[in-house]
Every structure is written in C-alpha cells, then in structure tokens.
Amino acid sequence: MGSQGDANFFEGAGFDWESYIVHRPAPDADFYQLIYDHHRANGGEFNLAHDIGTGPGNIAEQVGKTFKRVHASEPSAYHTSVAEHRLKAIDADKFTTQQCGGEDISTAGHKSGSVDLITVAQCIPLMRVDEAISGFAKLLKPNGTLAIWFYGRPVFADPSQQRSQLLINQILSKAWDRVRPLKGTGFEPAKIMLCAFLDNVAFPENDWKQVRRVKWNHDKPMMFLEDDDVDFDIKWDSKVREGESEEKSIDRDFWAIDADVGWMRGFVDYALPWENKDEDKAQFDGLFKELEVSMGGKEKKQNITWPVALLLATKK
C-alpha cells in the first residue's frame, strides 16, 4: 500500500483493513489476465511473484491464485503484520512476508534474477521512483514482468449524475485540506505523477523491453484533487520512449461497481483516513447528505468507474 513517503496515514492498530478492502475498487479477472498474458507472451514463468507495498495483502492474495509462491513486502511493520496474518491463514506455505520499502527490496536479502513477476499496486507515486525501478530490474529474471498500476478518483458513469460528481470531487478536496500544505512534501511528486498518468515513470532501455502503458478512462483525472486545489506547479517530463506501446480506451464499465452513499463515504474515510476536527466533521456530514440526495436516496446505488493506468515492462 505504501513505501517511503510522508507520514503513513494507514498506521495503527485501530485501522480496519477489512473495511478498507471492502471500500476499494477491485481489479477484475480480465485485468489480471492481461498481466499474465503479457508475462506468458514474453517467456515469463509462474513460480515466484513479489507484491511490493502489499498493505493488507489483498493483491498478493489474488496473484497467489496463479503463481506457485508469492512474497509480499511492505515498509510498515504494522501493515506487514496484518498481511502476514491474512496471507498465512490462506496458505502458510505459499505466502511469505517481509518489512521492507520498495526502493530497498533488491538489497534486502533476495537473490538477483530470482523473481518472475513484480506487482506494484497503488504505491509507486510515494516511492523514490528511479531507485525502485532499478531495484526491480535487479530482482527480476530475464523475461520477468513488472506490473505497476494506480487508479484515480471515482467517476459517476451516468452523465445525469454530474451533481454527484461535483460533490464527491468537493469532498475529496476537503479531505486533503487536513494535510495541507502539500508543496515540499512527498505528496507533491506523487500528485504530479498522477496528473501524468504515470508517464513520468521511466524504463531505461538497458534493462527493459516490451514496455506497455495501458490507460482506461484517461479522459477523467487520476489525481484526487482538482489542478486548482494544489499549491505547486503541475509540470512533468514525459519518460515515454520511442517504441513503447501506448494503449488508451474510454470504458465506463471498467472495474465498475454499484455503490450507494454509504459506500462512497467508506471510500473517502478509508482512502484518506485523517482525523477530523469537529468543524470538519460537520462539513463532511453536510456534503455527504447533499451527495445522498443527489444520488437518489440513502439506499440508491449508482454506477461508479475509475481512471486507471497500468505499466507493463519485461526485463531484458
């Protein structure tokens, strides 16, 4: 879930990881199959996978359905203990865990060229990216696969829900008010990377081949804030090399879920779980009440989709 960055806001025994998982979009079988098809087409094996920034181990759990063994690492001691508890209850022989930041994993006792697949879900923006990509290259076998992905803010698929979209955007912006300023913190490069749809992540030609940049719903913002809500300049250099594949599609059914206002509140609470002041809570209550009305009532569900970027790269 995270790596070396600013204060880890998922830390602490009071955080409910099971509710976190419930209130997240989940990659579907077709998404994982896209990764596995790329891996197989480039000569990859299905022995050992490594899930970086594993959080509660939910991605490692899914990858374990296809790979013989899965190692899950996480920089937080608390998160690592949660992942270990969950994964060993599933299969103590298949899963192993380790406390380690993603940037440091290649020097944390693993044999170079030993891993078939590395997955990096929802955490690359908080890493020292060039260090991390270099370390991943050292870990992977030749023809091994690196899969990095990130999803952005929720999108109401129904055009008639424009008011609901404006409200959830406002709620997310308000949630970020609790940790401002962003300029000069680890969140600044993270936000810029999301605005770039991960196009400022570089794959050096000496290490990587068959690089694919796949984007769904790229017409919608990935950053959880509007451009005008940040206190720094949003500028980046594209790292897309000649010969890399760029695949884009607008698909409002992608990772789609039917969500009511309670689920939307859970998404915000568990995605950005900072402590509320009393006056903040009152404002959030008011905004969520407006969202409830806009969505059609407390029990009414609306179709939600997501902007997603997936980076696939094969180790030379």
Between vectors from CA 133 to CA 316 and to CA 245, what angle results, nearest 5°?
A: 60
The sign of the CA dihedral 145, 70, 97, 108 is negative
Checking if the pLDDT of 65 tops 70, the result is yes
- Whole-angstrom Cα distance, residue 270 to residue 283? 18
Checking if the pLDDT of 139 tops 50, the result is yes
Say what percent of the chain tops pLDDT 90.
Answer: 76
Q: Given this model, what pLDDT does residue 24 score?
A: 93
Checking if the pLDDT of 192 tops 90, the result is yes
Dump pLDDT digits (tens) for 218-249.
999 999 888 888 888 888 899 999 999 999 99
**Could you tell me the two tokens for 233?**
């300049």
Q: Which of 4-13, 122-131, 208-217, 303-312 has the lowest mean pLDDT?
A: 4-13
Alpha-carbon distances, residue 163 vs 253, 267, 269, 300 (angstroms) = 20, 18, 21, 15
Instruction: Report the pLDDT averaged over residues 60-86.
Output: 95
CB–CB of 107/134 below 8 Å? no
Residue 203 has a CB neighbour count (10 Å cut-off) of: 24
Q: Given this model, what pLDDT does residue 4 score?
A: 38
Give the confidence band of 278 by pLDDT, cuts at 50, 70, 90: low
Give the confidence band of 185 by pLDDT, cuts at 50, 70, 90: confident
Half-sphere exposure of 276 (CA within 13 A, CB side): 16
Q: Given this model, what pLDDT does residue 264 score?
A: 97
Give the confidence band of 277 by pLDDT, cuts at 50, 70, 90: low
Instruction: Fill in the DSSP letter of residue 6.
Output: S
- Whole-angstrom Cα distance, residue 159 to residue 4? 38
CB–CB of 315/143 below 8 Å? yes
Q: Which residue has the tokens 């409830």?
A: 292
- Highest mean predicted confidence (pLDDT) among 203-207, 275-279, 282-286: 203-207
Q: Given this model, what pLDDT does residue 167 score?
A: 97
Say what percent of the chain tops pLDDT 70.
Answer: 94
Instruction: Fill in the DSSP letter of residue 103.
Output: G
| Average pLDDT of the chain to the nearest whole number | 92
CB–CB of 298/260 below 8 Å? yes
Q: Given this model, what pLDDT does residue 314 score?
A: 98
Q: Given this model, what pLDDT does residue 61 score?
A: 97
Instruction: Report the pLDDT averaged over residues 4-25.
Output: 68
- Whole-angstrom Cα distance, residue 111 to residue 109? 7
CB–CB of 291/297 below 8 Å? no
**Could you tell me the two tokens for 256?**
């789609």
Checking if the pLDDT of 178 tops 80, the result is no
Give the confidence band of 1 by pLDDT, cuts at 50, 70, 90: very low
- Whole-angstrom Cα distance, residue 154 to residue 264? 9
Q: Given this model, what pLDDT does residue 251 score?
A: 97
The separation between the first and the last C-alpha atoms of the chain, rounded to the nearest angstrom, is 27
Enumerate residues 6+ apart whose C-beta is below 8 A from 273: 9, 10, 15
Instruction: Report the pLDDT averaged over residues 70-96.
Output: 94
Residue 22 has a CB neighbour count (10 Å cut-off) of: 13
Q: Residue 149 pairs with which residues in a beta bridge?
A: 121, 310
Dump pLDDT digits (tens) for 291-310.
999 999 999 999 999 999 99
**Could you tell me the two tokens for 191?**
């936000």
- Whole-angstrom Cα distance, residue 265 to residue 89? 30
